[in-house]
Amino acid sequence: MKQLVFIQNDKVLTDTLTVAEVFAKPHDKVVRDVKVQIIKLHEAGEQKWSAANFGETQYQHSQNKQWYTKFDLSEDAFAIIAMSYITLEAMKMKVKFLSEFKAMKEKLQQPRVLSDKEQLMASLKLTLEASEALEQHNERITSLEETMRIDGSEEFRIRKNANRKIMKVLGGKESPAYKELNRKVFSNFWRDFKDHFTIPRYGDLPKKQFEEGLRFIGMWQPSTSLKIEIDEYNNQQTFNEVI
């Protein structure tokens, strides 16, 4: 396997070309993933962190000799990008990447032999720094989670479940209530959905509330007056059939 990380300007890095090759993904898709995360970091107010960990540069394609964008990634940047790669093979590759980051950092540092006291102090310092870094990392992840919205597939599930629920409430697509009231009921449902989650459109539903959104759809019922109106249309058909 090719070398996964490299040293550049006293920093241990990998790049999107390596990530694309190792995870068997098209390079342009990996670059797109990076750009999406950079946008989210900026939205979260982490422009400085983004600039320090994602380095945009270019490479020349070996065949057509054209120049294309690529990104150099720090260990933390790599961790964010690889977070969504969750197949068993991808998990193995992430472990290998992180192991090489660690080994290359140790090689870069090449610490001198310390006295027992210096080793103790260094250990305490590293423990403190690691704790602070972990806390900052968790804060960044929390910030990202707070700003993430549902993706296209989740929007599709929300709309599909909502359509199924509303159809059931109206009594089916062939019911008189559906023919006369479907626009009104759909409008009432989406108004209730957006009011409940305090969002301007259902696609703005926070990702962390996706499951709650599905529960809302499953439990939703029209208002009493609207339910009476639905029943009246459907009962009128039953009455006419009896006659």
Task: Please report whether residue 133 resides in a domain.
Answer: no
pLDDT score for 82 = 85
The domain boundary, picked from 81, 111, 141, lies at 111
Examine the pLDDT at 12 and tell me if it is beyond 90. no
| One domain for residues 21 and 100 | yes
> Which residues constitute the domain of residue 46?
6-111
Cα-Cα-Cα-Cα torsion 31, 36, 37, 40, nearest 10 degrees, comes to 160
- Number of domains the chain is built from: 2
| One domain for residues 95 and 174 | no
pLDDT band at 161 (very low <50, low <70, confident <90, very high): very high
| One domain for residues 196 and 106 | no
| One domain for residues 94 and 39 | yes
Residues 177-214 pLDDT 10s: 999 999 999 999 999 999 999 999 999 999 989 999 99
Task: Please report whether residue 126 resides in a domain.
Answer: no
pLDDT score for 92 = 79
Task: Please report whether residue 131 resides in a domain.
Answer: no
pLDDT band at 242 (very low <50, low <70, confident <90, very high): very low
- Poorest-confidence range of 118-132, 160-174, 188-202, 226-240? 118-132
Residues 55-85 pLDDT 10s: 999 999 889 999 999 999 998 888 888 887 8
Examine the pLDDT at 238 and tell me if it is beyond 60. no
Tally DSSP H helices, then E strands, for the chain.
Answer: 10, 4
Task: Please report whether residue 122 resides in a domain.
Answer: no
Task: Please report whether residue 159 resides in a domain.
Answer: yes
β-bridge mates for residue 59, sequence order: 68
Higher pLDDT, 101 or 185: 185
The domain boundary, picked from 59, 84, 111, lies at 111
Task: Please report whether residue 98 resides in a domain.
Answer: yes
Q: How far apart are CA 127 and CA 104, in angstroms?
A: 20
pLDDT band at 243 (very low <50, low <70, confident <90, very high): very low
Tell me the CA end-to-end span of the chain in Å, nearest whole number: 80
Quote the tokens at residue 46.
Answer: 């982490």
Task: Please report whether residue 1 resides in a domain.
Answer: no
| One domain for residues 91 and 12 | yes
Task: Please report whether residue 47 resides in a domain.
Answer: yes
| One domain for residues 96 and 162 | no
Report the 10 Å Cβ neighbour count for 76. Answer: 17
| One domain for residues 234 and 159 | yes
Q: Is the distance from CB of 179 to CB of 230 less than 8 angstroms?
A: no
Examine the pLDDT at 113 and tell me if it is beyond 60. no
Q: Tell me the average pLDDT of the chain.
A: 85
The domain boundary, picked from 56, 90, 111, lies at 111
